[in-house]
Amino acid sequence: MSIHPLAAVSPEARLGLGVTIGAFASVESDVELGDHCVVASGAVIKSGVTAGSHNEICEHAVIGGAPQHVARPADVGRVIIGDHNVFREHVTVHRGLKPGCDTVVGSSNYVMAGGHFGHDSVVGNSCIFANGSMLGGHVQIEDKAFVSGAVAVHQFCRIGRLAMVGGHARVTQDIPPYMLVDGQSGCIVGLNVVGLRRSGHTAEDIADLKNAYRIIYRRGLSWQEVLETLRTEFRAGPVLHLRDFLGSGKRGFTQERRAPPNATLRLRVADDAPAVAPTLRSKAG
């Protein structure tokens, strides 16, 4: 164990083997850090945090802050963290709003600088959160999701397994598993095929998900017809998880971005433009 003499560590904190605490870091009472955790200079681990092993809390991150709520009770929940997570500079993770209701972060997640997890958030395993991504209270993120920079996720929303959300998106409804969300429009633009391949899904799995995508977004079925069709046409594979996710939604789901019929790129051409302009226009659509 290595604790810098300028660190402030409560004698009531429980530290595992090989823990490293940097200068000006603060570890309060009622904190438990597993083996080989690293708390960098200026980071703050507040009371009510339990973390597993091999976690890295970088400079000026604050883990276990009080929930941001105007009606915050005197007693609040905890922050429960798994193993092998990285919380980069200035990340904030807040405790659950009520006793017994915790903010939970799984294992092997990477949270880049300025990320924020609100109270009662539940984050799975192997997720990536880019700089400035923000989770409101009670947000749920499933395994291997990718949340890009400056994404704001509204409270109580869910982001499904292996979904990828583009930068600056505003997430106000659930994002189903395996989907790709455009940051500018905040709409779904297809499947996260690259992520599916990298995670080991087979060509058959991806083909099934493409068929399910058409059922959900292209056939014009009612919602109950969508769920029933998914149930009857797919007996195994990732579509089962997709259907379960859709069947448990309460906030509605992010819609698909579809270009209007006969959409073209139109170029404005000045009256005195050279004769080549019509050719350019035709090639542009």
> For residue 149, what are the CA distances in angstroms to 19, 134, 161, 244?
30, 9, 18, 28
Q: What is the pLDDT of residues 146-175, one digit of tens each?
A: 999 999 999 999 999 999 999 999 999 999
Q: Where are the alpha helices (DSSP H) in the chain?
A: 193-198, 203-217, 223-233, 238-247, 277-284
Q: 120 catalytic, yes or no?
A: yes
| pLDDT at 260 > cutoff 70 | no
Quick one: pLDDT at residue 232? 96
| pLDDT at 279 > cutoff 80 | no
User: Of the residues 119, 160, 205, 208, which is catalytic?
Assistant: 119
User: Of the residues 22, 137, 186, 195, which is catalytic?
Assistant: 137
Q: What is the pLDDT of residues 59-109, one digit of tens each?
A: 999 999 999 999 999 999 999 999 999 999 999 999 999 999 999 999 999
Quick one: pLDDT at residue 258? 79
Whether the Cβ atoms of residue 197 and residue 179 lie closer than 8 Å to each other: no
For the chain, the residue count is: 285
Q: Whose CA is closest to 78, among 67, 92, 91, 90?
A: 67
Q: How confident is the model at residue 262 (pLDDT cuts 50, 70, 90)?
A: low
Assigned token pair, 72: 């915050």
Domain boundaries in the chain?
2-141
Distance between CA atoms of 39 and 19, rounded to whole angstroms? 8
CA atoms within 13 A on the CB side of 156: 6
Mean pLDDT calculated for residue range 120-128? 98
Distance between CA atoms of 43 and 46, rounded to whole angstroms? 10
Assigned token pair, 41: 């200079």
Q: How confident is the model at residue 9 (pLDDT cuts 50, 70, 90)?
A: very high
Q: What is the pLDDT of residues 218-229, one digit of tens each?
A: 999 999 999 999
Quick one: pLDDT at residue 278? 47
The overall average pLDDT reported for the chain is 92
End-to-end CA, the chain: 66
Output the CATH code of domain 2-141: 2.160.10.10
Assigned token pair, 151: 């994404």
| pLDDT at 259 > cutoff 60 | no
> What is the secondary structure of 70-127 as a DSSP string?
TT--SS---EEE-SS-EE-TT-EEEPPSSTT--EEE-SS-EE-TT-EE-TT-EE-SS-
The answer, as to whether pTM is greater than 0.85, is: yes
Whether the Cβ atoms of residue 189 and residue 257 lie closer than 8 Å to each other: yes
User: Of the residues 120, 174, 205, 208, which is catalytic?
Assistant: 120
| pLDDT at 285 > cutoff 70 | no
Quick one: pLDDT at residue 280? 38
Quick one: pLDDT at residue 274? 56
Q: What is the pLDDT of residues 174-233, one digit of tens each?
A: 999 999 999 999 999 999 999 999 999 999 999 999 999 999 999 999 999 999 999 999
